[in-house]
Copies of this chain bind each other. A is one copy, B any other.
Amino acid sequence: MKIRAPMQFLPRWIRAYPREQFTTDLVAGLIVTVLVIPQSLAYALLAGLPPQAGLYVSIFPVIAYAFFGSSMTQAVGPVAITAIMTFTVLSPLETPGSPHYIALAASLSLFSGVLVLAFGVLRLGFLSQLLSRPVVSGFISGSAVLIVISQLKFLLGVKVTGSTTWQVISSLAGSVSQTRPMTLLIGGVALVVLYSSRKWLSSALLKTGLSSRNAGFVVRLMPLIVVVMATLLVVRFDLDQKHAVAVVGTVQEGLASFTFFAPSLDSLKILTVPALILALIGMVQNITMAQALAIKRRERIDANSELVGLGTANIVAAFYGGMPVGGGLSRSAVNVAAGAQSPLASIVSATAMLGIVATGTHWLARLPLAVLAASIVIAAISMIDIKAFRQAWSYDRADAFALLGTGLGVLVLGLELGIALGIGLSLATLLVRASTPHIAVIGRIAGSEHFRNVERHGVETIPGVLFLRIDESLFFGNLSAVESRLGTELEKAADTHDVVLIMSAVNRIDTTAMEVLTDINRELGSRKIRLHLAEVKGPVQDRLIRSPLWKALSGHVHLSVNDAFELLG
């Protein structure tokens, strides 16, 4: 047995680490730590968990991903989409924030982490392909609307009951008269400031001569500034006591210890489908983002390492913090903007967060919830991808409907049924398209060996010979379309004595199709019409040779359409 040097167990980026990068990564890591505090708290609250959970899972899970992931600049941590999924799945089962709820959230994180890790180890990353981009986009946009709806109660300062979208909306409508003015004011101002800074601050700063990177940086800094200002206002004017402005409240002080547990069989049963969806969406999100980041840096990522990294991060998160994590768009953007060159920046940020949590987080107690809600709403709004819908609409209506169906499904039916609807719609589209193949009667462009659709081009044809090109693999679902088109064409040209099926775009012929072609061959034979095939692909021909059709074929198999044209002309 070969003994490996200990270094070999370290990820490649550490072994080949260029020393001159160290300062950049160090500074970037420290900046990121401070910038992600507001969103870490916000997403923990969004998930229905205690705020410190968001800080805890910004420590060890981040380190786990730094070791096992393959992306140089992606930052993992609490993200909006996994937070809202956690809340939507668990809130109908338990009261958010209750010990049972917290335990279920940790189990969900563990379960989905194990699934993602297994997908990575077994190299099943391609399974995330089940989700087409329109479905993922619809899912995220739908979830974003769910997020906005879930935060309205904090912005208005009212209590809301119910877990489905309709229940929440009607409960909101009923209690809107109890809106607390001061809460609404604070939240509203935060919303306006954050929205304006996203929309106009960057370009305004660019006009003052600031570099694009620094301008982006100031924009990223705004949530922290707003949070700090709002907290100072609460403290200065005792808004929480005098005007009933809801605040974060008691935060558990100091570091948590690792909590190891084995999830109960009951919770596994309840969580199977949610964990699978969380895993699939997490995989897609993570790989897509890691790829986008890698392309900019001309690096490559390894999809399966990504899954190992994400899975491990979630397993660690289950035991320390108890909240699912993912690859976050805004987290990674902060990381890149701060100049991170390698996962070392993440390790620095995790360590700094460890320090912050250890030193104490009592200053979070009087942070107004309305401001956190405002920052969540702003993040959620940026997740609603109108452009993707518009593009799908102009390119392919069916995909646009799948997107819309998923989004509305998530809103009206819930996450599981919403995504199931989306997958159903995209598979149905696939089947319906394959069942209605494009079939063209073709002829030869005079003086050439090129053949084209008789309806699109002026071409020469041979009387009594029908050249039919089928632009689809033949399978049980599209044979009646082929049969009925053939019937129509034969009715149009009653003197037909030879039919040539051009198979250049037929990539497969299944058993049903082979049998139906055999039937067609026999039926045509009884009407004294010969059936020919042309341009049969190698793999298709390898199969057909073993079939009864091959022996029974009344005509010939031609290598090219032109050969058939010359022979029958």
Contacts and interface: CB of A to CB of B under 8 A. Distances in A.
B538 A507 contact: no
Contact of A507 (B131, B480, B505, B508): B505
A399 B511 contact: yes
A259 interface: no
Contacts of A476: 129, 131-133, 426
Nearest to A508: B433
Nearest to A136: B512
Contact of A437 (B132, B472, B507, B515): B507
B134 A511 contact: yes
Given A507-B505, A519-B295, A546-B394, A129 B479 contact: yes
A512 B560 contact: no
A385 interface: no
A523 interface: yes
Interface stretch (A152-160, A222-230, A449-457): A449-457
Contact of A430 (B131, B298, B475): B475
A87 to B, nearest CB: 28
A392 B523 contact: no
Contacts of A131: 476
A514 B399 CA distance: 12
A433 B472 CA distance: 13
Contact of A438 (B130, B526, B539): B539
Interface string A419-455: 0000000110111011101100000000001100100
**Among A434, A511, A519, residue most surrounded by chain B Cβ atoms (within 10 Å):** A511
A362 interface: no
Q: How many copies, total?
A: 2
B543 A395 contact: yes
A95 interface: no
A391 B133 CA distance: 39
Interface string A459-478: 00000000000011101111
Given A394-B546, A505-B504, A134 B512 contact: yes
A438 B542 CA distance: 14
A435 B128 CA distance: 12
Nearest to A437: B507
Given A396-B511, A438-B539, A504-B504, 12 more contacts: A129-B476, A132-B476, A132-B477, A132-B512, A133-B515, A295-B523, A298-B526, A298-B527, A395-B546, A427-B431, A438-B507, A456-B538
The 5 A-B pairs of least Cβ separation, nearest first, read A132-B476, A399-B511, A133-B512, A132-B512, A471-B507
29 contacts: A125-B480, A126-B435, A126-B481, A129-B478, A130-B477, A132-B475, A132-B512, A133-B476, A133-B515, A134-B511, A291-B519, A295-B519, A295-B523, A303-B480, A391-B511, A391-B547, A394-B546, A395-B511, A395-B543, A395-B546, A396-B510, A396-B543, A427-B431, A430-B431, A430-B434, A433-B508, A438-B507, A471-B507, A471-B537
